[in-house]
Structure 1
Amino acid sequence: MKLEFHGANQNVTGSCHLFEAAGKKILIDCGLYQGGREMDEENSEPFGFDPTHIDYLLLTHAHLDHCGRIPLLVKKGFTGEIITTAASCELARVVLLDSAHLQEDEARYKSKKASRHGHKNEIEPLYNKLDVLNCFDFFGRKATYNQAIAITEGIQATFIDAGHILGSAAIVLEVEHKGQKRNILFSGDLGYNGRAIIKDPAPPPHADIVVMETTYGDRLHKPLEPTLEELYSTINKTIAKGGNVIIPSFALERAQELLYYLREGIENGLLPPYLPVFLDSPMAISATQIFQRHPECFDQETGKVFSSGQDPFMFPGLHFTQETADSMAINNVAGGAVIIAGSGMCTGGRIKHHLKHNLWGRNNAIIFVGFAAYGTLARQIVDGAKVVKVFGEEIPVHASVVTLGGFSAHADQAELLAWHQQTGQPKTTFLVHGDKDVMPVFAKKLHNTQVEIPELHQQYNLEEWF
């Protein structure tokens, strides 16, 4: 038995882990690196393994940093089976097509720029829309929470609800080894208790080996109630001044969660009854429609809203802007509006256009509701940059900048520790998907296990632990 780490090692993107046993190679996630230029270069580097030798890919969830290199994997020769939940399969299609669109646009831009400097070679995207469509030929069985799937003789996989986004899962590999059963547990990304829309993370089983995310392993989140109060207060103050509220948001879960709480704020009289809200993200709009098709993932409160005949994501004043022309027209809205657009880290998408038009306005507000990785435009703004570059143009930051920690889709330190405690006394816990200065902080909190913090492409022989 071997375990290899080929992404999200001492950083928070590019999740990709390879488990080998019983003559089979099983990949857990195949995510895209997100951040600055160095991260972009990582995406085009070799995987660290031969894609033609991979038998299975188990996908924990449909965020780009977990599924974003699947089309490239297929393009490089993968012909195995991809297994994930039904909701993740639907969401991944939307996410990957959007990713391909952005990469094609970026390749065209770079090709034109290179041509102006006398270089005639066309720059190719990492993958295109056809590559995305091709990769879905390899999506096979759909996992149902808590129901084991036979992978091969001696190995079965069970997906358990991770409570992170719609369809997200932690994955348990039960392996027969030398007459004994061993559990290898991959956390994926973990959500936290008490969030709107989806269920809380399910308790994990006891495990011999744990591979665990540590995104917020060094801190606690703000409670939700004061977070909502600050959200509503910022919106009301900004609208009263005639300014715009710009919210960079991930299209999956975060956008739907914002719509849910904006609806509640309006219904409870905490926000203006006809507050103009623009969901300016084709991917988020499609994702919202997918949410509506998977009520099996909803928590009890959201299920009650749906069963009453009400849509928890709709309210007066909400506008969906699919077309580019409609997006551009938002710039002409007078009197202030709330504009939700992707991407959450401001690395691409329509949010960059809205930042270009609103960062310099003193009456405007920028609200960050998610994690901002090092090297991203979002992180620069959050860290207090006075001037940032958007589309190559220097834009002064005069708008108010507010960061709301209570909306995170990731478990905080206390919840990560509580989740890990339920795994019993694993022989080894491998920490992944976290900043390199965060992982040692979290490692010191784990007292029931040996801790490893693997480097990129590091390999471990699990025979040593069994």
Structure 2
Amino acid sequence: MSIKMYSLGAAQEVTGSKHMLEVDDELYLIDCGAFQGRRAEADKKNRDFNVPADKLTAVILTHGHYDHCGLLPLLSIHGFKGNIYATPATRDIANLILMDSARIQARDAEFLSKQAKKKGERFDWQPLFDEEDVVNTVNQFVTVSYHRATWLSSKVLLEFYDAGHILGSAMALLTVRDSSGKEVKIAYTGDLGRKNKPIIRDPDTIPPVDYIVLESTYGNRRHEDLDNALHILARTAKELVRSCGKMIIPAFAVERTQELVYYFHLLVDKQIIPEIPIYVDSPMAVNATSIFQVHPECYDKETQEAFVKHHKNPFGFNALKFITSVGESKELNTIDGPMIIISADGMCEFGRVTHHLSNNIENPTTKILLVGFMAENTLGRRLQNRETEVKIFGEWHQVRAEIVQINAFSAHADYAESTEWLQSLDTSRLQKIYLVHGEPDAQKFLQDYLAERDFSAHIVKYGEVFDL
């Protein structure tokens, strides 16, 4: 039996996850993510779609983040007729993410077309896919719960284990079995999460495997202590009450927003902070929160005990209000503080958060709380770098607001946490670890760090074929 593995994305880079597994004449794709980064570069890479969609036996989706699911509609466009296997929560989140992407692309196409027409220029940019393509894609999903083995063919068995990254995230364990009963076991971590994160469970311990395809996003970094982060969060909230100011928190709509709501709920419940009005101003975050509410099967023990058993909603309490309409969002500018506004986009490049920043950034009583990774050349990174003047909507603003940063809320394991997870496994049959989903410096550090602990790791290059 022939087993080959190679990657067509997230190889020595973080985004665009696409990992191929060939078993004789069967072809499997694990994740089909979009590339992200500088707009023109990412658009070109996403259009150079390199997956032989019409030859795929099946697709496995580890979770619903855009860099893992963002190009799924291109599969059906290019002739894929098979099943996409995912957990129930991942299907729902992927549907939300893909629909949002289709709408954004449609709006971009309309805007760019008008701009080109005004300039008398030719315009031929088209969206990668539309809402109908998303519907067709979602209809191909087959949901599989954690720890329920499912045969994808007579040779390949799939079992999902909780990755502890976001709601519904999974590690995919594939058992390849030949006619004589000989087995090869391969685990794809997707994005590996962390212990003691709110709402969702810790990463599962998987059974013994021969190969692990391991993410390495933070292969050379350590995260801050969570208890200290919550102390900073509480202290900042109390200072806000004294100054009657506004706290603006740029946050991604899926997971980070719900995590922040959970922490504020907990701090209020424990009477560590007073009931400050909290507004979640992001239509997508509102929809994502609804998905969280219908998937309590993904909650960890602490969330079950703190909220579900007492018939409380972890995403709903007196001080919290969800904003959907543009009018309500604009009205927040006329209301005096103290108040907390959680709004997308997490890097301050798009969405309603940019309006809140432009209206409040020059006010010394404003606090801007940065809680996630900020890519180069984004407004978020400029705020993170403490630049004294920034441009928003083409206008320069003096940064008089206080910038506060917390680096403990990442959903990715750092190098020590990834290693600790590996050391918790039965590695008696483990032959090799393949590093993906990371920048070269992070991967080299992690490779060396693992080698010092007797793990053999290889950094995967784009298109590099491995015979297993």
Give the TM interval when normalised to the shorter protein: over 0.9
Please name the residue that 2:174 is paired with.
Answer: 173
Select which of 379, 384, 390 maps to 1:377: 379
CA contact (8 A) 1:82 1:138 kept: yes
In 2, distance between residues paired with 1:72 and 1:347? Answer: 26
Matches within 5 A, 1:140-159: 141-159=142-160
In 2, distance between residues paired with 1:342 and 1:153? Answer: 45
In 2, distance between residues paired with 1:235 and 1:452? Answer: 45
Change beyond 3 A, Cα 1:42–1:363: farther
Matched, 1:437 2:444: no
Change beyond 3 A, Cα 1:79–1:359: farther
Matches within 5 A, 1:369-408: 369-408=371-410
Which ranges in structure 2 are unaligned for 5 or more consecutive residues? none
Please name the residue that 1:460 is paired with.
Answer: 465
Alpha-carbon deviation of 1:74? 2.2
Matches within 5 A, 1:4-153: 4-139=6-141, 141-153=142-154
In 2, distance between residues paired with 1:378 and 1:311? Answer: 31
Please name the residue that 1:285 is paired with.
Answer: 286
Which ranges in structure 1 are unaligned for 5 or more consecutive residues? none
Change beyond 3 A, Cα 1:165–1:361: same
User: What is the CA deviation profile of residues 319-349 of structure 1, one whole-angstrom value per residue up to 9, with x for unaligned ones?
Assistant: 1111122222222221232111122233432
Alpha-carbon deviation of 1:449? 3.7
Q: Which amino acid aligns with 1:343?
A: D
Change beyond 3 A, Cα 1:134–1:454: same
The sequence identity of aligned pairs, in percent, is 38
Please name the residue that 1:208 is paired with.
Answer: 210
Change beyond 3 A, Cα 1:331–1:75: farther
CA contact (8 A) 1:158 1:172 kept: yes
Partner SS, residue 303 of structure 2: helix
In 2, distance between residues paired with 1:178 and 1:371? Answer: 47
Change beyond 3 A, Cα 1:344–1:3: same
TM superposition score normalised by structure 1? 0.93
In 2, distance between residues paired with 1:56 and 1:347? Answer: 35
Alpha-carbon deviation of 1:187? 0.5
Change beyond 3 A, Cα 1:387–1:123: farther
Alpha-carbon deviation of 1:101? 1.9
Q: Which amino acid aligns with 1:451?
A: A
Partner SS, residue 362 of structure 1: coil
CA contact (8 A) 1:12 1:373 kept: no
Alpha-carbon deviation of 1:188? 0.7
Q: Which amino acid aligns with 1:17?
A: H
Partner SS, residue 371 of structure 1: coil
Alpha-carbon deviation of 1:152? 1.0
CA contact (8 A) 2:8 2:18 kept: yes
Select which of 289, 311, 315 maps to 1:313: 315
In 1, distance between residues paired with 2:227 and 2:26? Answer: 48
- Structure 1 window deviating more from structure 2 (234-243 vs 95-104): it is 234-243
Select which of 430, 439, 450 maps to 1:426: 430
In 2, distance between residues paired with 1:462 and 1:418? Answer: 28
Partner SS, residue 21 of structure 2: strand
Matches within 5 A, 1:294-333: 294-304=295-305, 305-333=307-335
Alpha-carbon deviation of 1:239? 4.1
Alpha-carbon deviation of 1:168? 0.6
Alpha-carbon deviation of 1:119? 1.4
Alpha-carbon deviation of 1:122? 4.9
Change beyond 3 A, Cα 1:74–1:325: farther
Alpha-carbon deviation of 1:39? 4.4
Partner SS, residue 401 of structure 1: strand
Please name the residue that 1:164 is paired with.
Answer: 165
CA contact (8 A) 1:204 1:419 kept: no
Change beyond 3 A, Cα 1:409–1:368: same
In 1, distance between residues paired with 2:149 and 2:177? Answer: 14
User: What is the CA deviation profile of residues 118-163 of structure 1, one whole-angstrom value per residue up to 9, with x for unaligned ones?
Assistant: 1142532222222212211211x21111111101111111100011
In 2, distance between residues paired with 1:389 and 1:205? Answer: 51
In 1, distance between residues paired with 2:55 and 2:398? Answer: 50
Partner SS, residue 286 of structure 2: helix
Alpha-carbon deviation of 1:63? 1.1
In 2, distance between residues paired with 1:98 and 1:445? Answer: 39
CA contact (8 A) 2:391 2:397 kept: yes
- Structure 1 window deviating more from structure 2 (196-205 vs 5-14): it is 5-14
User: What is the CA deviation profile of residues 194-231 of structure 1, one whole-angstrom value per residue up to 9, with x for unaligned ones?
Assistant: 12111111012222221111122212221211101101
Partner SS, residue 450 of structure 2: coil
Q: Which amino acid aligns with 1:428?
A: K
CA contact (8 A) 2:174 2:187 kept: yes
Alpha-carbon deviation of 1:38? 4.7
Partner SS, residue 85 of structure 2: strand
CA contact (8 A) 2:47 2:128 kept: no
Q: Which amino acid aligns with 1:420?
A: L
Partner SS, residue 151 of structure 2: strand
TM superposition score normalised by structure 2? 0.92
In 1, distance between residues paired with 2:449 and 2:44? Answer: 31
Question: In the comparison of the two structures, how many residue pairs are matched?
Answer: 460
Partner SS, residue 446 of structure 1: helix
In 1, distance between residues paired with 2:374 and 2:76? Answer: 29
- Structure 1 window deviating more from structure 2 (86-95 vs 331-340): it is 331-340
Matches within 5 A, 1:185-334: 185-273=187-275, 275-304=276-305, 305-334=307-336
